[in-house]
A and B are shown apart, each in its own frame.
Chain A
């Protein structure tokens, strides 16, 4: 075992110890386990939200896309900013409602708002489907880090199994409390490592940012700006439709929705809307790492682009420092990975199981939620080993699913909800079915609707599904309105 691997495993062990300590002998009810007893202050909520956003996706996926796709990666900087702007007005009413009704999950929210357990079950099912690619990308990141840091001694498959085991043990022991504490360590480490690499690599290899970008631009004209219209991913229309889709979906992830419930006071969200956009700038340094790798470790193709940051690090630094970078990377996969596992298992136990059998006791639900953790992890390991997709492509697929919840969530917060229970159900089902068909058949707008002008091909397909969702919800709501007036829904 080399020093890089030793440091990486020490970091994982530290995360486990912190998780066990955070557990602290407290009695773990379902509410304790999933939303931390609703007692976290602004600072911890901030760390938790930051913890979810700065994941393997940012660290390896962000640099990978800068390396392989160029300007298309800029979307990652833009969509979070749009989401934080809306969070100022979107999150406080969601939090207030969840607190009043003592909700622990996102399907709970929809079921209560629309007075429809069926809608809750649908949201739970789609939520689990969307979480799988998100969990897959964390495992994929763990696999890349551990196998490259071992200089080939550990295969990528073994690394994925090791990573999945650590995440599972960690979650089963401590639930969300573990996430909050490891998040503290992880945030410090990822900030320090990303900023250091983003400054060091461009200056070490090119003498500065301007020189680096000029060199890339000369070798690869057009790579650093958005592509002309009609070229799909990386064009302006792709950028616009993608940031709109992902900004609206930002808080619609089951675990992100769940993190909203952990706050002690709603002011925390409004304060975070000021600070979190600045925190985004860390991404810039991650991009610089990917850009620095373009001319130094050329030739990575397909989903290998996710390895660019790590490959360049191996070529540049001593093993012990590669270990530090790897440790930061492992923690950025552990924290979100644990949040996703908690969200997925709670969705199943609390929203599907209890939804079907309402008499199920609190203890049984809590026990089932824990028991499901290793099962969901195994499913994700299966899909991770199938491989093929880049980290960013995996996340965009998940986003296409969760954004389908946005219209129904937004409407439910209005004083007079314009859409009915059936309208919301049909809209979400229609949108999610469109995303599923597109993901399975790998369609684009061009192949689905060949009569449209070529420029329309640039629009993100998830965005098209969202439009179909809204149209379907609108039509069905108009048709079912009289029934809704006769029997007004709660909330």
Chain B
């Protein structure tokens, strides 16, 4: 795993651990209870982080043929 892959740990920890620290209803954010809005925000960030990891991973730059066969 490359160094940039560790970026994926940030949303994972925010959801698993961070949620405990924003466990309240008020203030409402986007009309939602704060703790629900927190989870929604991190779901969106997860997609962005995975896109960064995908783009920077040399494995994905290879052609579809190599992708199917070659061991690495």
A residues bordering B, Cβ < 8 Å? 71, 74, 77-78, 81-82, 84-85, 88-89, 96, 208-210, 213-214, 217, 224-226, 236, 239-240, 243-244, 264-267, 270-271, 273-275, 277-278, 280-281, 284, 287
Q: What chain B residues lie within 8 Å of A226 (beta carbons)?
A: 19-20, 23, 35
Listed A/B pairs (30) with beta-carbon separation below 8 Å: A71-B36, A78-B19, A81-B11, A81-B43, A82-B16, A84-B50, A85-B46, A88-B54, A89-B5, A96-B71, A210-B28, A213-B25, A213-B28, A217-B26, A217-B33, A225-B24, A225-B35, A226-B19, A226-B35, A265-B68, A267-B64, A270-B54, A271-B54, A274-B47, A274-B50, A278-B44, A280-B43, A281-B43, A284-B40, A287-B36
Q: Does B15 contact A81, Cβ atoms closer than 8 Å?
A: yes
A82-B15, A213-B32, A270-B54 given; A77·B25 CB < 8 A? no
Q: Does B12 contact A82, Cβ atoms closer than 8 Å?
A: yes
Q: What chain B residues lie within 8 Å of A84 (beta carbons)?
A: 46, 50
Q: Does A277 contact B16, Cβ atoms closer than 8 Å?
A: no
- Provide the bound-state CA to CA distance between A88 and B7, in Å: 13
B residues bordering A, Cβ < 8 Å? 1, 5, 8, 11-12, 15-17, 19-20, 23-26, 28, 30-36, 39-40, 42-44, 46-47, 50-51, 53-54, 57, 59-60, 64, 67-68, 71
- Provide the bound-state CA to CA distance between A406 and B13, in Å: 20
Q: What chain B residues lie within 8 Å of A271 (beta carbons)?
A: 54, 60
Contact residues of A: prevailing secondary structure:
helix
Other than the given A240-B19, A265-B67, A271-B54, 5 more pairs (CB < 8 A) read: A209-B31, A270-B54, A270-B57, A273-B50, A278-B43
Of B1, B23, B47, B51, the residue contacting A89 (CB under 8 A) is B1
- Provide the bound-state CA to CA distance between A213 and B32, in Å: 7
Q: What chain A residues lie within 8 Å of B53 (beta carbons)?
A: 88
Q: Does B23 contact A225, Cβ atoms closer than 8 Å?
A: yes
- Provide the bound-state CA to CA distance between A240 and B15, in Å: 9
The 10 A-B residue pairs whose C-beta atoms are closest, nearest first, are A209-B31, A210-B31, A224-B33, A277-B46, A274-B50, A277-B47, A274-B51, A224-B25, A273-B50, A236-B20
A77-B39, A89-B1, A225-B35 given; A265·B64 CB < 8 A? yes
Q: How many contacts A-B (CB < 8 Å)?
A: 114
Q: What chain B residues lie within 8 Å of A213 (beta carbons)?
A: 25, 28, 31-33
- Provide the bound-state CA to CA distance between A88 and B47, in Å: 12
- Provide the bound-state CA to CA distance between A280 and B15, in Å: 14
Q: What chain B residues lie within 8 Å of A224 (beta carbons)?
A: 25, 33, 35-36
Of A71, A208, A217, A267, the residue contacting B35 (CB under 8 A) is A71
- Provide the bound-state CA to CA distance between A92 and B36, in Å: 32
- Provide the bound-state CA to CA distance between A224 and B54, in Å: 35
- Chain B's closest residue to A227 (CB) is B23
Q: What chain A residues lie within 8 Å of B25 (beta carbons)?
A: 213, 217, 224-225
Give the shortest distance, in Å, between A403 (CB) and chain B (any CB): 16
Q: What chain A residues lie within 8 Å of B51 (beta carbons)?
A: 274
Q: What chain B residues lie within 8 Å of A71 (beta carbons)?
A: 33, 35-36
- Chain A's closest residue to B21 (CB) is A236
Q: What chain B residues lie within 8 Å of A96 (beta carbons)?
A: 71
- Provide the bound-state CA to CA distance between A85 and B42, in Å: 12
Give the shortest distance, in Å, between B55 (CB) and chain A (any CB): 9
- Provide the bound-state CA to CA distance between A77 and B20, in Å: 15
Of A236, A244, A264, the residue contacting B23 (CB under 8 A) is A236
Q: Does A240 contact B32, Cβ atoms closer than 8 Å?
A: no
A225-B25, A226-B35, A270-B60 given; A77·B19 CB < 8 A? no
- Chain B's closest residue to A75 (CB) is B39
Give the shortest distance, in Å, between B61 (CB) and chain A (any CB): 10
Q: Does B23 contact A278, Cβ atoms closer than 8 Å?
A: no
- Provide the bound-state CA to CA distance between A209 and B17, in Å: 27
A82-B12, A85-B11, A236-B20 given; A264·B31 CB < 8 A? no
